[in-house]
Structure formats: C-alpha cells, structure tokens
Homo-oligomer: A and B are copies of this chain.
Amino acid sequence: MSKQPIGIFDSRVGGTSIFKEIHALLPNENTIYLADSANAPYGTKGEQKIVELSIKNTELLLNKGCKLIVVACNTATTNAISILRAKYNVPIIGIEPAIKPAALQTQTKAIGILATKGTLSSALFHKTSDLYANSITIIEQIGEGIVQLIESGKTRSPEMTGLLESYLKPMLKANIDYLVLGCTHYPYLIPGLLELLPNHVKIIDSGLAVAGQTKVVLETSNLLNTESKIPKNEFYINVKNTEVMQSLLGDQFNVESLKF
C-alpha cells in the first residue's frame, strides 16, 4: 500500500505549486496529478456541481490506486471535502488560505489576502478568519484576471505587474506585514510579488502546510514510501493544450492530455 501514489487534483494547473511542495518534502512518493481544466473554473459553479466534479476526480485517482488524496483547490475543498471524507476510506487532505499563521504572527495587526471570489466569499474562509483574526485587520482582494494571465503564459508580464500593483495598493496603505496567497495558482506570482513588496512584508501560501500535513498523515498511518527507486510523477490534463502546465512544471516532468 505504501508504494501506491498520492493523488492530487485541482480545477486547473495551479495545484502544481502544491505538487512541487509535496515532491520537495516527500521525494520518494509516487504521485498522480489531475488538472480538470475542461471544467474550470469551479468557483462559478453551484455546490452540487463542484461536489460531482470532485467525486469524479477522486474516483479516477482511487481507480489508479491512490493511497491518499490531496484536494489542491480551495473551492473544491470548501464545497466538497466533508462529503469526500465521509464517502471514501483513504485520508483526504484539503487546502485553505493560511490566515491562521499570518494572523498569529503579524506585528502590524494588518494582513492582506489575495484570492478568487469564490474563496473569499466561502463559509470556510470566513470561519477561519473569525476564529483567529478577531483583532486583526484583513484586507481582502479578489485576484480578478490573475489566473487567466498565468494560464496564457503571462506570469511575468507588464499586464501582470500592473494588475498586482493595483491589488497591492490598498494593502500597503493599510500597512500589512503578511500577504496570504489564497489560490493555488498564486505561488507562481512570488518572484514578481517580491519585486513589488517592501522587504518587511512576508508572503505566505498553503503549499508547505499541505505538504507537512501529507507527511504527518502518511507517517502516522505507516504509508510513507520508503523505497529508494526513482518515483513516478504523472500529470494529466483534460484539454488538448498541455503547454502552460508543462512550462509551469519544467522539463523534468511530463504532462499528458487525457479525457476524463
């Protein structure tokens, strides 16, 4: 069982940032990644549809023998994770914006969060922020257009810089010292953000936490892959164009187009 792969899915290719953190922390693990781009975005769909798509992705991964599922998508986590956990026996790990560590560590008592509309309005997000951030100012900003630019290969571009500058402006005015990235695409913005942010503002995303949770769960359940041979890391996307995903992942991994 421990040699079986970790399954990861996202509505698009952004969750590859989560894959990278998992692969860095657990280099022995076999993985299978599904980008459900044919059905993206999930954020504009109703809860029932998101649950349906999440079940479809999970069952495909379970049919491929996955020992653990990572829902590398904030929207799918919020809407479907309880149902997935109740329905399947394998451990299921989700993702949510890292408000808690930011709220615990801020010195200026102001933090910024950049996320999609669906994530900012979701119940899970508001529950988390209520719990930990009562005395802290949270500047919420919808990252309108960012995902589209990344998906068209314009992660580093004048358009992106302009967009980010306008989104950061109210945050910097409020003197934030933590910027929370609430979408799996956004870690790809970090090099650009570092150029725009003053030195004292720290960027925090959920990738490392998700990887850490994956490790703890595998370890405590005796599911860590201790085999020393080179792992198999598979990537599937259900649209024809594999180029953007391939460029985000780099040449050492191979992306395939697959109907699902």
Contact = CB atoms under 8 A, between A and B. Distances in A.
Contacts of A213: 216, 220
Contact of A92 (B85, B86, B93, B220): B220
A10 to B, nearest CB: 18
Interface in A189-232: 213, 216-217, 219-222
Nearest to A69: B220
A219 B93 CA distance: 8
Question: What is the interface residue range for chain A against chain B?
Answer: 10 to 19
Interface in A66-104: 85-86, 91-93
A250 B4 CA distance: 46
A81 B244 CA distance: 44
Copies of this chain held together in the complex:
2
A216 B213 CA distance: 7
A219 B214 CA distance: 12
Interface string A92-135: 11000000000000000000000000000000000000000000
A87 to B, nearest CB: 9
A222 B88 CA distance: 9
A91 B91 CA distance: 11
A222 B93 contact: no
**A86, A93, A220, A222, most chain B CB atoms within 10 A:** A220
A213 B212 CA distance: 10
A86 B222 CA distance: 6
A166 to B, nearest CB: 35
Given A93-B220, A217-B220, 17 more contacts: A85-B219, A85-B220, A85-B221, A85-B222, A86-B222, A91-B217, A91-B220, A91-B221, A92-B220, A92-B222, A213-B216, A213-B220, A216-B216, A216-B217, A217-B217, A217-B221, A221-B221
11 contacts: A85-B219, A85-B221, A85-B222, A86-B222, A91-B217, A91-B221, A93-B220, A213-B220, A216-B217, A217-B217, A221-B221
